[in-house]
Structure 1
Amino acid sequence: MLRWAIFIVIYLALALYTLQALKAATRYPWVYYLFIALSLLVLGNFIYQFTLGEVPGRVLSRPKSYAFGFLLTMMAFQLITILFLFSEDIFRLLAGIYHKFFGVTKTFTIPERRRFLSLLGMGIAAIPFGALLYGMYKGKYNYRVLNYDLEFDDLPSAFDGYRITQISDVHSGSFDNREKIEYAIDLINRQKSDVLFFTGDMVNNKSEEMHPWKQLFATLHAPDGKFSILGNHDYGDYVDWDTPEAKSQNLQDLMALQKEMGFDLLLNESRYLQKENDRIAIIGVENWGRGGFKKAGDLKKASDNIMKDDFKILLSHDPSHWEDVVINDEYHYHLTLSGHTHGMQFGIEIPGWIKWSPVKWRYKYWAGIYKELGQYINVNRGFGFLGYPGRVGIWPEISVITLKKKV
C-alpha cells in the first residue's frame, strides 16, 4: 500500500509541474482541464487494472498491458516537459541567489523565456508521446522481413542457397487483431523458405493463450519442416499456480499444442536435415538465460548424437547463452538463432547508420547478425510484444537467412 501511495504522489507531482508549463504556454482553461482529466483517467485506469482488475494468477492481461502503455506514454510527456521547465526554475533560483548576495537590483530577463521553454519542452515531448501511441496502434503489427546472406567455408554443397525463416517471441496472449496476424502468417509463408525455425516464447504465461491462434499457426509451411524450442515464458514461471501439478500440466499442454501445429519441439535434442548426400545438424536447447532466467538448456546433452565436424545450426532462445557458453564450446556452432530481447520494442534503427535501443545496456547481442570466433548468431527482434503493448522503431521481425558456400 505504501508503494502505491508513493507512486501516486510522484505521478501527481509530475502532472502538477507539467500543468505549470501548460499555463505558461497557453491561456485557454479548457487545455488545463483536458490535461488534468487525461492524467487522472490514465492514473485511475492503471491503479484499477493492477488492483481491483487484477486477473488471478499474476497474469499480465491485455487491459493491464494497455494501462501500463498509456501510463508510460503520459509519463514520457511529463518528464520531458519538466526537464525544460526545471532548467528554467534552476536558472531563476541561481539568479535569485546571485542577486541577493551581490545586491544586484536589476535583472536581465529574456521576454517570455518561460513560455518559450514550455512550448519547446512540450513540442519535443510530443514526439515520444505520439510515437508511443503510434506504437500501440500500428507499430506492434508493422512486420518487416529482414534478409541475410551468410557465407561459410564448410557449408555442405547441397545446402548452398538454402533458405531459413526464423520467427521468435510470438507471445500469443498479447494479440488483439486477428487480421494483422493472418497477414503476418501469410507473409511468412510467402518467403518460401526450405525450413522454418521458431525460437521460443509461444505464450506469455499459459498454454490456453495459444488456443485461438492454433489453427492459424498450423498453416505455416516449410518443405523440410518446422522446428521449435521453448523460451522462458513457456514454462509458466510467472504465474501463481494453485499446485505444482497444474504448472506441469500447462507445460505438457503447450508441448502438445506445438505438436498439433506441426512443430518438431526440440528439448535438448538434435535432428539432421538431409539433401542429396549432404546433411546439416539442427540442435535445440531448452531455455538458458543469464541474470535469473531459467537454465534448463543443456548443450552437451542436445549435441550427444551429432558429430564434431557436422555443420551445425543451434536454436537457443536467449542470446546470453551464445555469449556465455556456445561460442567457447569445443564444438563449432556455425549459426545460432535466438530471440528473447525484443529489441526492447523501442529504439532507433536506420540501416547502415544507427542501431540503438536501451536493451543494449543489458545484452551485448540484442538484434540482428553478429559474428564471434567464426560463429554467427541472429537475434530476432520478435514477432509479438509483451508489457508495453506496442513497438517504436524496433519493428516485429521475420528473419530470412540464406546459407551460402564461400568460394
Structure 2
Amino acid sequence: MRISKLIKLVLIRAIQIVLIGFLLVFSTSVYAHKIEPNWVEVTQNEIQLPKLDSVFNGYKIVQITDLHAGDGIDRAQLERVIETVNAQNPDLVVITGDHVSRKPRQHIELLDTLAKLHPRDRTISVLGNHDVFNDPAPIRAALDRVGITLLENSIYTIKRDRATLHIAGVGDVFAKDDKLDLVLEQLPPTGAAIMLAHEPDFADETAATGRFGLQLSGHSHGGQIRIPFRKGYLPELAQNYPLGRYQVKEMVQYTSRGIGMIKIYARFNCRPEISVFNLVSRS
C-alpha cells in the first residue's frame, strides 16, 4: 500500500511538472509571437556631433528600420508605428532599409502608409539587402510616390540660414552596391555629416574617412531572440555592431533593433525600436 501511494504521488508530481512546463512554454510562445513584437520601445539618444553648427542644437532625428512590411507586420501595425514617430515631433525621419521582405504587390502597397510621416524637413531612406535582393524598382517607385527621398550613394543637405547638415546614404553593402568614394565626392568639406547604411559593420569604413560623426543602421534586428549568454541570430555584416550605441574611432555608430521580423517571426528580450536622436553641437 505504501509503495502504491508513493507511485501515485510521484505520478501526480510528474503530471504537475509537465503541466507547468507546458504552460510556461505556451505563455512564452504567446508573449514572443504576439506581445513583444507589438510592444515598441522609443529610445532617446543625445548625440554630440562634430562640426554641427549651434543653429542645429536640439535638431531631432527619428530612425525606423527593417519594417519588413507585409511579412509578419500588417497595415495597422505600421500605422501605429507611424503615429508614434509623429508624436516625437521629428525634424527629420530616416528609414535605414528593408522596407519589405518579399515581392508580392500587397507588401509593396503597404508602403503607402509612409505618406503619413510628417517630419519638419524630410523623410529620407536607404535600401537594405531584402529590398535589393528582391526587386528594388517597385520599392523605389513606392517611396517616390509618398515623397520619400531615397539616397543611393548620394547626399541630402539640410540648411538653416548659412549652416548645413549633410545626410549621406550608401547603396546596400551586402549587395556590394555601396560606393563611399562617390559619396565623399559629393560631400562638402564644411558642415556636420551623418551616414545612413543598412548594414552596421560598414561603420568601420565610414569612420575611417574621419568625415562623419554618426552612422545609423539596422539589419540585425538586435538578434530578435536574446537569452542569457547568447547574442541571438545575427546576420552577416552585423557581427561587430549588432545592437545599440558604439564608439568607432571618432564616430558614433547606432544600430536599431528595428520594427519587423524574419525567420521565426518572434521577439524575446528584444523589443522593436523607434530611435530618437537629439543632436548637440560641441560649441
Structure 1 residue runs without a partner (length 5+): 1-25, 28-110, 238-249, 349-353
Check if 1:227 corresponds to 2:106: no
- Cα RMSD of the aligned pairs, angstroms, is 2.8
Query: Pick from 216, 221, 238: which aligns with 1:342?
Result: 221
Check if 1:278 corresponds to 2:179: no
Q: CA deviation at 1:284?
A: 0.5
Query: Pick from 205, 212, 216: which aligns with 1:333?
Result: 212
Tell me if structure 1 keeps the 8 A contact 2:41–2:273: yes
Check if 1:266 corresponds to 2:154: no
Deviates more, 1:152-161 or 1:338-347: 152-161
Q: CA deviation at 1:215?
A: 3.0
Secondary structure of the equivalent of 1:378?
strand
Corresponding residue for 1:387? Answer: 263
Structure 2 residue runs without a partner (length 5+): 1-6
Query: Pick from 263, 287, 292: which aligns with 2:172?
Result: 287
Secondary structure of the equivalent of 1:387?
coil
Secondary structure of the equivalent of 2:188?
coil
Query: Pick from 79, 82, 87: which aligns with 1:182?
Result: 79
| C-alpha distance in structure 2 between counterparts of 1:281 and 1:166, whole Å | 16
Corresponding residue for 2:195? Answer: 314
Corresponding residue for 2:4? Answer: none
Scaled by the length of structure 2, the TM-score of the pair is 0.87
**Letter matched to residue 203 of structure 1:** V
Q: Higher helix fraction: Structure 1 or Structure 2?
A: 1
| C-alpha distance in structure 2 between counterparts of 1:364 and 1:117, whole Å | 45
Corresponding residue for 2:280? Answer: 404
Distance 1:391 1:273, change over 3 A: same
Q: CA deviation at 1:127?
A: 4.2
**Letter matched to residue 224 of structure 2:** Q
- 1:184-224 CA-to-partner distances (Å, cap 9, x unmatched) read 21111111110010000011022624344233211111121
How do residues 179-258 of structure 1 correspond to structure 2 at under 5 angstroms? 179-206=76-103, 208-237=105-134, 250-258=135-143
| C-alpha distance in structure 2 between counterparts of 1:402 and 1:158, whole Å | 13
Q: Rg: which structure is higher?
A: 1
Tell me if structure 1 keeps the 8 A contact 2:69–2:108: no
Tell me if structure 1 keeps the 8 A contact 2:224–2:233: no
Tell me if structure 2 keeps the 8 A contact 1:336–1:377: yes
Secondary structure of the equivalent of 1:218?
helix
- 1:361-392 CA-to-partner distances (Å, cap 9, x unmatched) read 96121111111212101101111111212211
Q: Return the structure number with greater relative CO, CA threshold 8 A, min gap 6.
A: 2
- 1:327-376 CA-to-partner distances (Å, cap 9, x unmatched) read 223x321000100000121125xxxxx99632469612111111121210
Corresponding residue for 1:368? Answer: 244
**Letter matched to residue 184 of structure 2:** S
Tell me if structure 2 keeps the 8 A contact 1:205–1:235: no
Q: CA deviation at 1:308?
A: 3.8
**Letter matched to residue 268 of structure 1:** N
**Letter matched to residue 287 of structure 1:** D
**Letter matched to residue 328 of structure 1:** A
**Letter matched to residue 357 of structure 1:** K
| C-alpha distance in structure 2 between counterparts of 1:276 and 1:132, whole Å | 53
**Letter matched to residue 102 of structure 2:** N
Q: CA deviation at 1:265?
A: 0.4
How do residues 78-89 of structure 1 correspond to structure 2 at under 5 angstroms? none
Scaled by the length of structure 1, the TM-score of the pair is 0.62
Q: In the comparison of the two structures, how many residue pairs are matched? A: 275
| C-alpha distance in structure 1 between counterparts of 2:178 and 2:25, whole Å | 38
Q: CA deviation at 1:401?
A: 0.3
Q: CA deviation at 1:115?
A: 8.7
Secondary structure of the equivalent of 1:304?
helix
Check if 1:161 corresponds to 2:41: no
Tell me if structure 2 keeps the 8 A contact 1:207–1:251: no
Q: CA deviation at 1:119?
A: 6.4
| C-alpha distance in structure 2 between counterparts of 1:279 and 1:310, whole Å | 5
**Letter matched to residue 257 of structure 1:** A
Corresponding residue for 1:296? Answer: 177
Secondary structure of the equivalent of 2:84?
helix
Q: CA deviation at 1:116?
A: 6.9
| C-alpha distance in structure 2 between counterparts of 1:364 and 1:190, whole Å | 32
Distance 1:177 1:335, change over 3 A: same
Secondary structure of the equivalent of 2:186?
coil
